[in-house]
């Protein structure tokens, strides 16, 4: 019976699996192969030469450092702010449903519309500079200064905070209220309940939200590309910019090598996070 159900499930999944293999797995495997050759057509195997050239490239190192900086700054801020909002909205507050909807709205706004709003706000002749000039603080070219990273972080948080908040809310509402009632009876205050009940039982959700947030941080290229173009200011030149420019110059070897390194780093990070989460769960049990 189980074998028959498994075969039926496999038949239903076969079209999706075939599409995933044809459009994702096989092209990625071919790309990995290209990263070890000197050219795509009739190329010969060169080992790790492409990777050595890639790591020696100043553009690649700059893009990698900017990507790591962006992820390292934006993800912790996003987690902290979304968790605070989730804890607040988990209480009986006024207009709770309306506030949840307001924080979710950025997810359904088209990327082009989001970029247009941020351009109006942070452009040299934008609203923010107009206000600053009115206060005699002078103008700042936000997208062509080190402040461009700040603009990108704020945009990333604004767009993703609602999604993470909803995930945290789901985790908070799954915690039995009996734990809090017992803690109150024993004299535990709000802060102690937060650290010894909420954060402890929210840890699986926290690891999941952390993983999703890191993956989403690598998708910020869309907004950055529309906001600042192919070659933005150095501070917001990301790995995806580097790979996009390699694609336009048909430098397939460096493109595939960079993609392989990025995927390898993401897989390693995900493996470490899942391992830590599994050990924590075993410790709690």
pLDDT at 126: 75
Q: What is the mean pLDDT of residues 205-216?
A: 88
pLDDT at 78: 93
Is the Cβ–Cβ distance between 50 and 36 less than 8 Å? Answer: yes
pLDDT at 81: 92
Q: What b/e readout covers 26-64, taking b as 16+ CB neighbours within 10 angstroms?
A: eeeeebeebbbbeeeeeeeebeeebbeebeebeebebbb
In this model, does residue 284 exceed pLDDT 70?
Answer: no
In this model, does residue 279 exceed pLDDT 60?
Answer: yes
Query: Which is more confidently placed, 64 or 126?
Result: 64
Query: Which is more confidently placed, 169 or 139?
Result: 169
In this model, does residue 254 exceed pLDDT 80?
Answer: yes
Q: What is the mean pLDDT of residues 196-214?
A: 84
Tokens 């074998």 correspond to: 3
Structure-token pair, residue 94: 């006024």
pLDDT at 267: 85
Q: Is 94 helix (H, G, I), strand (E, B) or coil?
A: coil
| pTM for the full predicted model | 0.81
pLDDT at 2: 57
List, in order, residues 6 or more apart from 78 with CB less than 8 Å away: 156, 157, 160, 161, 164, 213
Query: Which is more confidently placed, 83 or 144?
Result: 83
Q: What is the C-alpha to C-alpha distance for residues 73 and 146, in angstroms, rounded to an integer?
A: 14
In this model, does residue 52 exceed pLDDT 70?
Answer: yes
76: confidence class by pLDDT, cuts 50, 70, 90: very high
Secondary element (H or E) of residue 154: helix 147-173
Query: Which is more confidently placed, 38 or 212?
Result: 212
Query: Which is more confidently placed, 192 or 282?
Result: 192
27-31, 84-88, 281-285: lowest mean pLDDT where? Answer: 281-285
List, in order, residues 6 or more apart from 183 with CB less than 8 Å away: 192, 193, 196, 197
Q: Give backbone dihedrals phi and psi of 77, rounded to 5 degrees, phi first.
A: -65, -45
Is the Cβ–Cβ distance between 202 and 180 less than 8 Å? Answer: no
Q: What is the C-alpha to C-alpha distance for residues 63 and 71, in angstroms, rounded to an integer?
A: 12
In this model, does residue 285 exceed pLDDT 70?
Answer: no
Average pLDDT score over the chain? 82
In this model, does residue 77 exceed pLDDT 90?
Answer: yes
Q: What is the C-alpha to C-alpha distance for residues 187 and 90, in angstroms, rounded to an integer?
A: 22
End-to-end CA distance of the chain: 33
CATH class label, 51-284: mainly alpha
pLDDT at 79: 92
Q: Tell me the C-alpha to C-alpha distance, in Å, between residue 276 and each of 175, 203, 248, 279.
A: 21, 11, 40, 5
19: confidence class by pLDDT, cuts 50, 70, 90: confident
Q: What is the C-alpha to C-alpha distance for residues 143 and 123, in angstroms, rounded to an integer?
A: 7
Q: What is the mean pLDDT of residues 235-264?
A: 84
In this model, does residue 65 exceed pLDDT 70?
Answer: yes
């Amino acid at each position: 019976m189980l074998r028959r159900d498994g075969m039926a499930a496999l038949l239903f999944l076969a079209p999706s699996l075939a599409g995933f293999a044809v459009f994702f797995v096989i092209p990625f495997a071919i790309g990995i192969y290209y990263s070890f050759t000197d050219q795509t057509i009739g190329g010969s195997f060169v080992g790790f030469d492409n990777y050595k050239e890639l790591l020696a490239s100043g553009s690649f190192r700059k893009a990698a450092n900017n990507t790591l900086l962006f992820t390292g700054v934006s993800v912790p801020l996003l987690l902290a702010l979304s968790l605070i909002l989730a804890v607040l909205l988990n209480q009986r507050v006024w207009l709770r449903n309306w506030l949840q909807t307001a924080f979710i709205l950025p997810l359904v706004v088209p990327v082009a519309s989001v970029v247009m709003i941020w351009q109006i706000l942070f452009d040299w002749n934008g609203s923010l500079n107009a206000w600053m000039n009115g206060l005699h603080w002078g103008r700042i070219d936000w997208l062509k200064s080190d402040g461009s990273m700040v603009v990108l972080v704020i945009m990333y948080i604004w767009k993703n905070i609602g999604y993470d908040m909803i995930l945290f809310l789901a985790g908070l509402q799954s915690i039995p209220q009996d734990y809090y009632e017992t803690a109150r009876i024993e004299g535990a205050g709000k802060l102690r309940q937060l650290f010894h009940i909420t954060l402890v039982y929210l840890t699986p959700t926290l690891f999941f939200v952390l993983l999703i947030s890191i993956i989403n941080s690598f998708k910020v290229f869309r907004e950055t590309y529309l906001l600042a173009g192919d070659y933005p200011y150095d501070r917001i030149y990301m790995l995806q910019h580097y790979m996009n420019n390699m694609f336009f110059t048909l430098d397939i070897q460096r493109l595939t090598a960079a993609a392989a390194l990025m995927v390898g780093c993401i897989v390693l990070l995900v493996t470490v996070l899942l391992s830590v989460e599994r050990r924590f769960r075993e410790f709690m049990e």
